[in-house]
Structures are given as C-alpha cells and as structure tokens.
Structure 1
Amino acid sequence: MFAAQELSTFDETLAIWVAEPHATKVSVNDLGLEHQEALREILTKVIATEIAKETYAQIIEGLPLLRVFEDCFNVTKREDLTAHGHLSSDSIAILKKFKGNFNFDILQFDAKTARAYQNTTFDLREFKLRLLEMIAVACHKIAALLYKEVKGDAIPTERILYQPPPITYPPSYDGTLRKPVARSPYLVLPTDFYHMSYQAMEQYPDGIADVVGYWAELRILGAWWCLIGGRVEKRFCKDAFLHPQPHQRMMHQLHDHQIDQLVNFESVKKESALDGVEIILPPLPFQNERYSRRLDEWDALDQNIFRDMHERRWDAPPPQRCVRSGEDVPELQDAIQKLRSEGQL
C-alpha cells in the first residue's frame, strides 16, 4: 500500500510513508444502501453546520480569519491577516453555490477504508467509529477539492522561502540603541491553512491540498486518529482520538457518548415553548474531556494509532518543549488549584 521513494524537495529522504498514488478508489454509490444512506445523512448535517461553512468559506477566500489563525498558530501578525476579521459576501455566495451543486459522487474514498465501513454491522460501536472515519475523510476531501478549484492551475508543489523579520531589542540601560539581529530564511508551507502536526505535503497523495484537508478536519471535527491493528493493513478500529494543536502534545480519546452525539444529532430547527425556535447544535468540533485517556502524539505509531501512515513524518524528532499545556495534565491543574485554595500558593 505504501511505496518507498526518494524526494529531494524538502532536503530529506522519505522512508516508507509515501502514499501510493494509484490506490483503488470508490464512491459513495459503491456502498450498500443502508451504509450509503447513513453516510449521506450525517455528512449532510455536518457540512451544514456553522463551523463547516466558516471553514470552507475561508478556503474559498484564500485567507483564514485572524481569530482562526491566531487560535491555531500563535505567529507574528501579517497585515493581510490583521485586516481579515470577517468573511466577504462573495466567498459566502460561492460556498452556497458550491453546496447547491454538490454531488456526493465526486468524493472518492480509499477502497480499504470504504470496505472496512461497509463490513460493519449497522448501529454497533464499530459501525459508528468507521462512520466517523468516513465523515472525517469526506470533510478532508471537500476541503481539498475546494482548494484545488480555487487555485486552478496555480496549485503550489513546493515550499517557499520565508524571510522572517529581524529581532529587535529595547535600548540599553544607558539609552544606546541596539542593532536588530537578522534571522536566516527558512522553508514554509505555501498555505496558511495547516495543522501543525500534518505538514508533510511531499508525501501526501494530493500534496498541499491534503494539508488544507487536515486543517479542515481540525476546524470542523477537532481532528482525529483511529486505533488500528498492524502498521500497513487496517484490521480493526477500536477508538477515536482527537489531535488538537498547537500548545498541546497529548491526543485525547473520544468517549462513546461524544460519538453517539454526532451520529444522533438533529440539524433541523424545532419549535420551542419559550422563544419560538430552538436550534439543535451538533457537538462539533469535539472537545477534550478533562479526564479522557491521553497519549503523547509522538508515541502514537508505537501503539498503532494513526489513520494513514503517510499522514505525518514519523521519522522526525519530537520537538523539545519547556512548557506543557494544562489541558495535557489536568491532574496537575487540580493539584495547583488545591494548593491555592489552601493558601499555599
């Protein structure tokens, strides 16, 4: 399923994690009727949510909203991002037209993924997990399709060289001005739509469009992995994990009730005795529950936790961090709160 090949684009040799470009694909119509209808129903509700519409409209616009970019990436503001506080009416209109003409048949799924979903028994736990996998892949592919449609023939295939601004320092104690320190340029992705842990465009089947797809999964679903057996062939799917960013390095397992809420949520408006209309909101994006099972993202491969082996650079060294997110260690947060309440901090 995975071909070993050498790519010189990013100055390194990739090992076995490059996706096979000619893997067999199937459409929604190749599924059995019951599984097909379940996928269509939930996917229709998911892409109708406000978070999905906002996500896809940003891709059409070609620039993330400032609050979205800051929420994900904590980088120096750029002028074009600083001014981008709202979506334009044009991008929203284009998205409405896209949704009006959207045909599920254009979504192509890996045959092994679709077969694993098809082989589940309706309404059992494994069926729900595989349905969630198909939803995640579909959200990813819609984003990639939109990105390619917007870019047309101008889809970038290589990283670009970025020159960061110099480091500036305040004056010395005696008032002497200090010279700015220049920084070396480095290669960056040719898009602002990316998940910090999913940037390996050189080994993705759709290149940079898949980078955008992983970003869309993060925005809409909260991003996720599934636990499978074996490093190459998918054998079973036991659990689903969130993979948040950028300050957390722990993946969080989804509870069954969270998955059930997605499978069972209603997207219609219902009459309410209080104010006339009650909007039933979906549980998206998924949130980390405080004491869920947690796993360091760099230990995932050793425990067979991934969706596709080509999704990340497994040979890259883990980043060295001197600060840990409180959400990664809620027990420590509780201990600090206890000490504060006892007046010891």
Structure 2
Amino acid sequence: MENFPRTSEDLDVIVAKLQQQAHDEHKARISPSKLNDPHRHALVQAINNVLSTEIALDTYAQIIDGLPTAEVGFDRRSHHIWDGHAVDEHVELCPGAMEKAREFCPKWHLDMLAFNPQLIRDFRNAAPGTKVFATRLIELVAVAIHQFGALLYQLDFRVHQGDVDAAVTAIEPRPDYIEPELWGTIIPPPTIFYHIAYQCHDIYPEGVADMVGYWVEDRIFGGVVVFDRPAEQGADGNRNPNPPNIYLHPCRDRVTRRITQLSDEQQQALVDFFTKTGPEPPSSSPLPIIVGYKNRRRVDPEVAIVNLTICRDVWERKPPTLDEYFISTRRPRSSLDYPETLAFMILANGKAGNKLPEKLKDKLRSGELDDELGPDKKRLDLDKLLNERKS
C-alpha cells in the first residue's frame, strides 16, 4: 500500500519525477543505424514484415484520415462514441488515406527511429536465435511501430472530409431519460486515437502524439507491449538468458482489461513472423494477437508498474492513488478478466451442495466452456456434477 500516492499532492510529486525521467530518457535515445549487420538486418526485416500487414496499413490510414472508421472506433473499451457522433457515421476511410499509408510504409528508414541506448546494447549483445535476442527484437519493433504512429499524427494529414476537431472535442449529450443531476459530463481526451490506460500526455516526451503511438500498438499488436523488468534480470545482476514472455495490455472491445502474458506458442509465432525472409512479404501474420481464456497469466493494471514493474517505461502510466486502487479492488470480477471465476463458481456451488443450472450443464457437456475453464477443468468432478438429477 505504501507504493500508492495517498493525496493529490503526493501524485503531483510523482508525476513531476516521471516527467523529468521521460524527457531525460527521450533526449538520451540513439539511432539504431550503428547496429552490426546481422542485428540491423533482423530489425529492418521485422519492421518491414509488420508494415506489410493489412492491420498496420489500416491503422496508419486511420491516423492519416484524421478519424477512425466506426468499426475501429467502437472496437475499444470506453470509446465515448454515441449514436450521431461523427465516428458513428464514418463508415469507411476517406479518399487518399489508404493510398498515403501504402506510400508511407515502404519509405521508412532507420534514421527516423531512436531507441533507449540500453535497449540497443542489449540487442546488439544478444546472439541471434536466443530468447534475449527475440525479446529485445520485439521491444524494438513495438517502439518503432509506436514512433511511426506518433510521427504520422504530428504530420497532421487529416484527409477526412469533415471537421476533425469538432469530432474530437464533441461532448456526449445527456439522454432525455437521465435526470440532469445524475449525468456527469465526460471531457474527451485531446485525440480520438487513444488507449484508455495510456493518456498521460503531460508526461510523454511527444505529448499527445505518444497517446496515438500507444493506440497504434493496441491496434497492430493487440495491446501495448510491456515486459516483466525485474524477471529480465538474473539472480547475479546480469541479464536473464531466458527472459519471461512479453505481456500485452489490451484495450479492444470484449478483450480483458488486464495485462496478459503471451503463451509460448503466441510468442514464437510472433518471432517467426518477424524473422521470416524472402522476396515477398509473409503471406500470413499472427497480428493482432487477441489474448483470450488460454492466456492465464494476468496482472491487474493498477499494480503492474507500482508493485511489479511490469511495463516498458515506468513513466508510461501514472500510479493510481490509494483511493483509486481500493475502488479497483471492488470491481465486479467477470470471467473475461479473471478466467478462473467460472471454475471457482462451480467448485463453490458444489461444496455448498447447490446443483448447477441445466443450461450451464449443457454448455459443460458440449465443451463450449472448455477454453474458459482451461486447466481448471481438471479440478472439477464433471461426471458427478453433470449426472446430478434435478431435485
């Protein structure tokens, strides 16, 4: 509990420190152009492979347009888009947006990018084929994809045939059925391209443009790419030769809000895609990676940085105050965020002698809930539960 700021004044002090750290690290970034040939070629290949995907082209085209399409805009938690909003009526990209994206993506070069010097050193010192090499390659690509999104936002193409500023600053009107005293006005973020958990533009070195960069990561990768920093260090203080799998922090609709670790299969598919070579771009891609019930290793966002240092940069999200943390612990727990909830409910009812509803039994018999139960299915005596007779 001592890690959470207790007052707004405590939070202000922390934010000031994070601002300074973010800007100091930003100034210290270096170009990747001096990487040795094998490492430089691997990075270029991986970025090219990502930029060749339809999800990357579509994501950057949304920024070039100036407004997301309705399909993309609604595919986000807390999207603050309503019937009649400009995005609701934006069915397809405006002319020129996709064309500019297809023109931009092949023209990138290493001099456009800058990275944390330690990240470059760790990648340069890692032997190709090792997990350290793969993990640092993923981090470099995530940062590059983020930076491209921020750059496109700063270029301010706005080919949208309409008033972008009016759409961004629009405030949701109060529905007639809600009394005025019960309606709270929500001030929209400074950009419509945002991840709900990454809005600290007062801290980010590139300001609002970095908000857009995090949104780009969510669209292309399936979440903001973060790492278990303490576990990447070995017991002797040196780099762990077998770092844990990366985590994604998603913001898509009907996807968990929790920071979720990739499975071995998911991470290997990503690395295989990054390292695939050939005269033509890969014909298939694992992107975006939509984490689901099979991804059981999850962390609550409120404690990820503060208590566990699971992040990419410690300044990417402000810590919640102690009151905000306590509120988060009282959130209802659905199986979308906590896959173990269903098995717990079944076990608890079994121990209490309560019979399962017939509809739930039917789903268990059909295997419809196998993914949600995951490894917890082995703990359940399903034969006994499913053969219970109605009372």
TM-score, length of structure 1 as denominator length: 0.79
C-alpha distance in 2, partners of 1:89/1:213?
23
1:88 is aligned to 2:94: yes
Number of equivalences: 311
Change (3 A) 1:191 1:183: same
| SS of the residue 2:202 aligns to | helix
Match of 1:200 in 2: 200
Partner SS, residue 247 of structure 2: strand
Q: 1: CA distance between counterparts of 2:64 and 2:30?
A: 26
Moved over 6 A (4+): 267-270, 335-338
Q: Is the 8 A contact 1:57 1:91 kept in 2?
A: yes
* Percent identity for Structure 1 against Structure 2: 32
Rounded to whole Å, the distance in 2 between the matches of 1:324 and 1:151 is 42
- In 2, Cα distance between equivalents of 1:89 and 1:164: 28
Three-state SS of the structure 1 residue aligned to 2:150 is helix
2: CA distance between counterparts of 1:92 and 1:263?
27
Match of 2:286 among 266, 283, 299: 283
Q: CA deviation at 1:79?
A: 2.8
Structure 2 residue 268 is the aligned partner of structure 1 residue 260: yes
Q: Identify the residue that residue 324 of structure 1 maps to in structure 2.
A: 333
Shift of 1:230: 9.2
187 and 115 in structure 1: CA distance in 2 versus 1, 3 angstrom threshold: farther
Secondary structure in 2 aligned to 1:314?
A: coil
Say if 1:234 and 1:131 are closer, same or farther in 2 by CA, change over 3 A. farther
Structure 2: gaps of 5 or more residues: 1-7, 159-167, 347-355, 362-385
1:81 and 1:208 mapped to 2: Cα distance? 20
Paired with 2:238 and 2:145, the residues of 1 have a C-alpha distance of: 21
Aligned to 1:155: none
Instruction: Confirm or deny: 8 A CA contact 1:63 1:81 kept in the other structure.
Output: yes
Report 1:116-265 matches (<5 A). Answer: 116-150=122-156, 163-169=171-177, 181=181, 183=183, 185-223=185-223, 224-229=225-230, 237-245=243-251, 248-265=256-273
Structure 1 contact 25–108 (Cα < 8 Å) conserved: yes
Give the conservation status (yes or no) of the 8 Å contact 1:167–1:180: no
- Tell me what 2:316 maps to: 311
Across the aligned residues of Structure 1 and Structure 2, the Cα RMSD in angstroms comes to 3.2
Does the 8 Å CA contact 2:153/2:209 hold for their aligned counterparts?
yes
Task: Name the CA distance, whole Å, in 1 between partners of 2:189 and 2:264.
Answer: 36
Write the deviation string for residues 55-99 of structure 1: whole angstroms up to 9, x where unpaired.
000000011111111110343424311221111231111112212
C-alpha distance in structure 1 between counterparts of 2:278 and 2:196, whole Å: 34
Cα distance change of structure 1 residues 267 and 82 upon mapping to structure 2, 3 Å threshold: farther
Q: CA deviation at 1:229?
A: 2.6
The AA in structure 2 aligned to 1:168 is D
Q: Structure 1's 151 and 313: CA in aligned 2 closer, same or farther, altered over 3 A?
A: farther
Alpha-carbon distance in structure 2 between the residues aligned to 1:112 and 1:285: 27
Shift of 1:268: 7.2
Compared CA separation, residues 149 and 225, structure 1 to 2 (3 A): same
Partner SS, residue 242 of structure 1: strand
Write the distance in 1 (CA, Å) between the matches of 2:75 and 2:128: 37
Looking at structure 2, the residues matched to 146 and 111 of structure 1 have their Cα atoms a distance apart, in angstroms, of: 24
Tell me the SS of whatever aligns to 1:17.
helix
Residue 129 of structure 1: how far off its partner (Å): 0.8
Q: Deviations over 1:178-199 (max 9, x none)?
A: x655845454321110111101
- Pair 1:97-2:98 in alignment: no
> Comparing both structures, which one devotes a greater share of its residues to strand?
1
Structure 1 residues 191-234: Cα deviation after superposition (integer angstroms, max 9, x where no partner): 11011110110000100000000000000001221111399x99
Tell me the equivalent position of 2:69.
65
Contact 2:229–2:310 under 8 Å retained in 1: yes
Match of 2:364 in 1: none
CA distance in 2, matches of 1:138, 1:112: 16
Aligned residue for 1:326, secondary structure, equals coil
Offset at residue 168 of structure 1 (A): 2.1
Partner of 2:165: none
Instruction: Provide structure 1 residue ranges, at least 5 long, that are not aligned to the other structure.
Output: 1-7, 153-159, 171-178, 271-278
